[in-house]
């Protein structure tokens, strides 16, 4: 679509949303579950196009943001004790742990390598062999199948010094908890995660909570379209799961990717920043893949960690607060010197507010 | 300094963003500023030498040393020429300091020196003094270069942010983000195939033409580390005015846009080494573009925005679809060793 048509279509959708919203008394609050949506919404300045009565709040779908401080501590302590090389996606290296981040650990002589795919992490392990190499396993259903496939390959190839410290998460359990909140009226559902898990599996939002959910793409027009559908259902008082991202998401998702995932992992409890321990919301290694489990293989004593009580990340990840309500925002907490992970992650809500602001 | 990292230099301190600023303000200036340093100009007009001489210095640690469109040698000439050019000074003399790591291949050094010579000849500058040091293996990464430059101020113009006022127009001398993206892509860890080169070049020909605007030319800056986002924020912050730019007016090559999507790097935050951002008086934008129409280094120059009284000290971007948002100053460890 050429830029002029794109702008025209956007304006048309925006005014449709305004017209619909006028028919509704009171606020409509929708949650964009996924961090990539958060960023895309702010990058396109979409909020400047919405009427006052339509509010978008962020959810728990930013993998770095929901990862607990203790996980960073764990990675650093493990690497220090066993002289392991840490490999990770870039976002995680600046997340503050209890005493410094992986960046500080690196400046003090630790080995931390940023990789762009799990496969790269295996290559680093091969190059570092026999030194243990620990990949930090953070992510949702989008990333996990790739990690699982990589582990299958590593097992077949006999890479002996490659390990994963797991903090993987799945999206349904926290979503169920959030769907019960009265002040959330619908959900902009994650496009990439849904490509794996499909659209049908969100039906509980409608059946159990009578709330609409729309799966949307990541282009500004995709998001406006999804928002229009959410507003329209809310105004009419109906609820359904609508798939506005059919070019990527199928009703039953990607079966093959899920099969690989559950060949390697099985559901386990997981601890979420802001939400605490949610039963069945994480993944643990199973069968022959337990040999990759860095936590089991390299025991360390990781003390409980405490979050800065002034940091509102927990409330932000559950849609109850926005970053501008945090007293540290932009002052003591900036992307270069962050207090919470929401300010570090390239998908974090505080980072989005900081980078793209409110005009 | 960051609270959780007391006492150590982090890569972010060299990023050219806020951390660098703090390091300079808190550690360097209190000890070394005797009047001129504190204004933190890219280059300084030397006082006591006839008011016509500009002086600057820059160090180059780019990794990889060779990248599509140039290498550390050509870059070290262009970078210093461009700092001088942005003070309105024609680059004339350069010094060349080489720090070499034991074991660095002679053939590579030769290739680098040849491109220093080629770039200097093309830019019309002469390398007139230099220095060579070798450090033991492991104490440096192949080669680092420092260049200093002296330039002649051709017209006594005050190119200062204090002259920027509401309605002034902002232009950029060509498509943005090429250098940063080309260097990132040529790093070993990426295995993508893009047809993309660094824009590394001397921008003096651009500046020379723009000087014809006289007082209408208000401010020049080469958007290196932190890209045009850093430069536009500098304009907003130092003038105390607002800046509004239009996303669809900012030229970005297709290959850069594609690469930026894959790498997750904003082309507006990616370094340029052959571009300038220019502020001209109200209504002079078209004339400026006209002056540049025959200038090969300014191919693709475009008007991208204007200075406003609204949103003081902030940069506001009108997005492709007509939304508005802030274009913030890039921060932290963005892309280490980009120049
Ligand atoms: S601004 Fe910083 S301290 Fe405040 S909630 Fe966000 S990450 Fe936490």
Query: What chain A residue is nearest to B323 in terms of C-alpha separation?
Result: A45
Contact A11/B at CB under 8 A: yes
pLDDT at B108 over 90: yes
Paired with B127 in beta bridges are B94
Mark yes or no for CB contact B18/A336 under 8 Å.
yes
Mapped onto helix, strand or coil, the DSSP state of residue B114 is helix
From chain B, the residues in CB contact with A98 under 8 A are none
Rounded mean pLDDT, A302-316: 90
Q: Which residue of A has its CA nearest to B229?
A: A355
Check for a shared fold between B41-153 and B161-326. Answer: no
Confidence of residue B281 (pLDDT cuts 50, 70, 90): very high
A154 lines ligand 1 (CB under 6 A): no
Q: How many beta-carbon pairs under 8 angstroms link A with B?
A: 103
Judge whether B29 is closer than 8 Å to chain A, CB to CB: no
Pairing of strands B302-308, B217-221: unpaired
Nearest CA to ligand 1 atom 7: A340
pLDDT of B268: 95
Q: Average pLDDT, stretch A191-204? A: 94
- Say whether residue A336 is in contact with chain B using an 8 A CB cutoff: yes
User: Which positions 149-208 of A are in contact with B (Cβ < 8 Å)?
Assistant: none
Cross-chain CB nearest to A107 (options B3, B10, B322):
B10
Distance from CA of A158 to the nearest CA of B (A): 23
Q: Do A10 and B10 touch (CB under 8 A)?
A: no
- State whether residue B11 sits within 8 Å of chain A by CB: yes
* A-chain residue closest to B248, CA distance: A3
Atom 6 of ligand 1, residue of closest alpha carbon: A350
Determine whether the interchain pair A116/B5 forms a contact, defined as Cβ–Cβ distance below 8 Å.
no
CA of A74 to the centre of ligand 1 (A): 22
Whether A179 is in the pocket of ligand 1, judged by its Cβ within 6 Å, is no
pLDDT at B51 over 70: no
Question: Taking CB atoms and an 8 Å limit, are A3 and B248 in contact across chains?
Answer: yes
Q: Does A42 touch chain B (CB under 8 A)?
A: yes
pLDDT of residue A242: 96
Q: What pLDDT, on a 0 to 100 scale, did the predictor assign at position B190? A: 60
pLDDT category at A14 given cuts 50, 70, 90 is very high
Binding site membership of A65 for ligand 1 (Cβ less than 6 Å): no
Interface contact A45-B317, CB threshold 8 A: yes
User: Inter-chain contact B17–A336, Cβ cutoff 8 Å?
Assistant: yes
Find, in chain A, the residue whose alpha carbon is nearest to that of B322. A7
* CB-based contact B5 A108, cutoff 8 Å: no
Domain boundary assignment for chain A: 28-311, 313-356
Res B2: pLDDT = 42
Query: Taking residues A105-120, what's their average pLDDT?
Result: 92
CATH topology of domain A28-311: Rossmann fold (3.40.50)
Mean pLDDT of A336-340: 86
Contact check, Cβ <8 Å, A336/B12: yes
pLDDT tens digits, B224-251 = 988 999 999 999 999 999 999 999 999 9
Q: Is A51 on the interface with B (CB under 8 A)?
A: no
Question: Residue A349 Cα, ligand 1 centroid: separation in angstroms?
Answer: 9
Q: Assign A274 a pLDDT band (cuts: 50, 70, 90).
A: confident
- B43 pLDDT higher than 80: no
In this prediction, residues A316-345 reach a mean pLDDT of 89
Residue A294: pLDDT over 90: yes
Residue B1: pLDDT over 50: no
Shortest CA gap A76–chain B (Å) = 15
Q: Can you give the residue ranges of every domain in chain B?
A: 41-153, 161-326
Ligand 1 centroid vs A341 CA: distance in angstroms?
8
Report for B143-147, B190-194, B254-258: range of highest mean pLDDT: B143-147
User: At a CB cut-off of 8 Å and minimum separation 6, what does B132 contact?
Assistant: B97, B98, B100
Determine if the peptide bond prior to A130 is cis (ω within 30°). yes
Question: What value of ipTM does the predicted structure carry?
Answer: 0.72
Q: Do B319 and A354 touch (CB under 8 A)?
A: no
Ligand 1 binding pocket includes A316 (Cβ within 6 Å): yes
CA distance B311 to B325: 11
Q: Do A3 and B190 touch (CB under 8 A)?
A: no
Distance of CA A355 from the midpoint of ligand 1 (Å)? 13
Q: Residue B155: count other Cβ atoms within 10 Å of its Cβ.
A: 9
- Pick the atom of ligand 1 nearest to A342's CA: 7
The band of B333, judged by pLDDT with boundaries at 50, 70 and 90, is low
A333 Cα–ligand 1 center, Å: 6
pLDDT at A179: 96
CA-based nearest distance A355→chain B, Å: 5
Is A3 near chain B, with CB under 8 Å? Answer: yes
The CATH fold assigned to B161-326 is Phosphoribosyl-aminoimidazole Synthetase; Chain A, domain 2 (3.90.650)
Q: What is the 3-state secondary structure (H, E, C) of chain A?
A: CCHHHHHHHHHHHHHHHHHHHHCCCCCEEEEEEEHHHHHHHHHCCHHHHCCCCEEEEEEEECCCCCCCHHHHHHHHHHHHHHCCEEEECHHHHHCCECCECHHHHHHCCCCEEECCCHHHHHHHHHHHCCCCEEEEEEECCCCHHHHHHHHHHHHHHCCCCEEEEEEEECCHHHHHHHHCCCCCCEEEECHHHHHHHCCHHHCHHHHHHCCCEEECCCCHHHHHHHHHHHHHHHHHCCCCEEECCCCCCCCCCCHHHHHHHHHHEEEEEEEECCCEEEEEEEEEECHHHHHHEHHHHCCCCCCCCCCCCCCCHHHHHCCCCCHHHCCCECCCEECCECCCHHHCCCCCHHHHHHHHCCC
What percent of chain A is modeled with pLDDT above 70?
Answer: 99
pLDDT digits (tens, 9 = 90+) for B95-107: 999 999 999 999 9
Decide: A348 in ligand 1 pocket, CB within 6 A. Answer: no
Q: Choose the weakest-confidence range: A237-246, A304-313, B297-306.
A: A304-313
For the entire predicted model, the pTM comes to: 0.80
Sign of CA dihedral B287, B289, B294, B298: positive
Residue A70 has pLDDT above 90, yes or no: yes
From the list A141, A146, A150, the residue with the least C-alpha distance to A174 is: A141
Q: Å from A9 to nearest chain B CA?
A: 8
Phi, psi of A129 (to 5 degrees): -50, 140
Burial tier of A9 (Cβ tally within 10 Å: 0-12, 13-18, 19+): middle
Residue of A nearest to B1 (CA): A337
A18 at B interface, C-beta within 8 A: no
Nearest to B321 among A6, A42, A99 (CB): A6
User: Which pLDDT band, with edges at 50, 70 and 90, does B192 fall under?
Assistant: low
- Tell me the pLDDT tens digit for each residue of B293-307: 999 999 999 999 999
Mean pLDDT, chain A, whole residue set: 93
Token pair 């259903």: residue? A141
A357/B314 CB distance under 8 A? yes
A313 lines ligand 1 (CB under 6 A): yes
Say if residues B202 and B149 touch (Cβ distance below 8 Å). no
Which long-range contacts does A330-333 make (Cβ < 8 Å, 24+ apart)?
A330/A354, A332/B3
| Distance in Å, alpha carbon of A13 to nearest chain B alpha carbon | 11
Q: What is the mean pLDDT of residues B310-324?
A: 94
Tokens of A177: 């908890």
Is residue A107 within 8 angstroms of chain B, CB to CB? yes
Query: Tens of pLDDT along A130-154?
Result: 999 999 999 999 999 999 999 999 9
Residue % of chain B over a pLDDT of 70? 94
Weakest-pLDDT range from A79-93, B122-136, B321-335: B321-335
Domain B41-153 class, CATH top level: alpha beta
């Amino acid at each position: 679509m050429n830029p002029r048509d794109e702008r025209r279509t956007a304006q048309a959708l925006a005014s449709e949303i305004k017209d619909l919203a006028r028919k509704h008394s009171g606020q409509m609050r929708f949650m964009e579950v996924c961090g990539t949506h958060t960023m895309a919404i702010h990058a396109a300045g979409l909020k400047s196009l919405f009427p006052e009565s339509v509010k978008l709040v962020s959810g728990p779908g930013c993998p770095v943001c929901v990862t607990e401080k203790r996980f960073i501590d764990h990675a650093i302590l493990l690497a220090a004790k066993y002289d392991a090389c840490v490999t990770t996606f870039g976002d995680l290296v600046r997340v503050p742990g209890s005493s410094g981040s992986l960046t500080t650990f690196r400046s003090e002589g630790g080995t931390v390598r940023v990789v762009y795919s799990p496969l790269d992490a295996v290559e680093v392990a091969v190059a570092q062999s026999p030194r243990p190499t620990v990949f930090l396993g953070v992510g949702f259903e989008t990333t996990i199948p790739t990690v699982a496939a990589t582990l299958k390959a590593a097992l077949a190839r006999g890479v002996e010094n490659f390990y994963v410290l797991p903090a993987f998460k799945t999206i349904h359990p926290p979503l169920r908890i959030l769907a019960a909140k009265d002040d959330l009226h619908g959900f902009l559902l994650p496009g990439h995660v849904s490509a794996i898990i499909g659209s049908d599996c969100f039906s509980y939002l409608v059946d159990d909570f009578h709330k609409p959910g729309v799966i949307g793409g990541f282009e500004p027009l995709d998001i406006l379209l999804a928002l229009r559908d959410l507003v329209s259902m809310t105004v009419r008082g109906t609820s359904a799961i609508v798939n506005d991202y059919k070019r990527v998401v199928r009703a039953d998702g990607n079966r093959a990717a899920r099969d690989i995932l559950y060949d390697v992992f099985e559901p386990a409890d997981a601890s979420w920043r802001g939400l605490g321990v949610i039963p069945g919301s994480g993944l643990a290694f199973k069968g022959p893949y337990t040999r990759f489990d860095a936590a089991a293989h390299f025991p360390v004593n990781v003390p409980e960690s405490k979050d800065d009580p002034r940091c509102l990340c927990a409330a932000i990840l559950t849609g109850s607060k926005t970053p501008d309500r945090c007293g540290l925002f932009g002052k003591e907490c900036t992307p270069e010197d962050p207090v919470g992970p929401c300010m570090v992650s390239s998908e974090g809500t505080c980072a989005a507010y900081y980078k793209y602001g409110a005009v | 300094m960051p609270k959780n990292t007391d006492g150590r230099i982090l890569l972010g301190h060299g990023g050219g963003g806020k951390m660098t600023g703090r390091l300079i303000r808190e550690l360097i200036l209190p000890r070394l500023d005797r009047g001129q340093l504190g204004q933190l100009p890219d280059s300084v007009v030397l006082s006591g030498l006839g008011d016509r001489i500009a002086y600057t210095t820059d160090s180059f640690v780019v990794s990889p040393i060779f990248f599509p469109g140039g290498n550390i040698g050509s870059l070290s000439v262009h970078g210093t020429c461009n700092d001088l050019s942005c003070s309105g000074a024609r680059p004339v003399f350069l010094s060349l300091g080489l720090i070499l790591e034991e074991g660095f291949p002679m053939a590579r050094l030769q290739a680098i020196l040849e491109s220093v010579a080629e770039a200097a000849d093309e830019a019309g500058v002469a390398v007139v003094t230099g220095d060579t040091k070798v450090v033991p293996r492991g104490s440096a990464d192949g080669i680092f270069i420092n260049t200093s430059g002296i330039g002649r101020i051709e017209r006594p113009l005050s190119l200062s942010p204090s002259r920027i006022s509401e309605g002034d127009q902002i232009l950029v001398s060509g498509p943005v983000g090429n250098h940063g993206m080309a260097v990132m892509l040529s790093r070993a860890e990426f295995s993508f195939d893009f047809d993309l080169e660094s824009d590394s070049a001397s921008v003096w020909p651009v500046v020379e033409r723009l000087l014809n605007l006289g007082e209408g030319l208000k401010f020049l800056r080469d958007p290196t580390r932190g890209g045009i986002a850093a430069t536009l924020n500098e304009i907003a912050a130092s003038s105390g005015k607002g800046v509004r730019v239009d996303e669809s007016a900012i030229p970005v090559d297709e290959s850069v846009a594609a690469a930026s999507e894959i790498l997750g790097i904003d082309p507006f935050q990616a370094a340029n080494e052959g571009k300038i951002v220019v502020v001209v008086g109200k209504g002079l934008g078209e004339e400026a573009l006209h002056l540049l129409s025959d200038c090969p280094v300014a191919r693709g120059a475009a008007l991208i925005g204007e200075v406003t009284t609204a949103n003081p000290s902030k940069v506001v971007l009108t997005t492709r679809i007509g939304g508005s948002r802030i274009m913030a100053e890039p921060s932290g460890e963005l892309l280490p060793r980009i120049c």
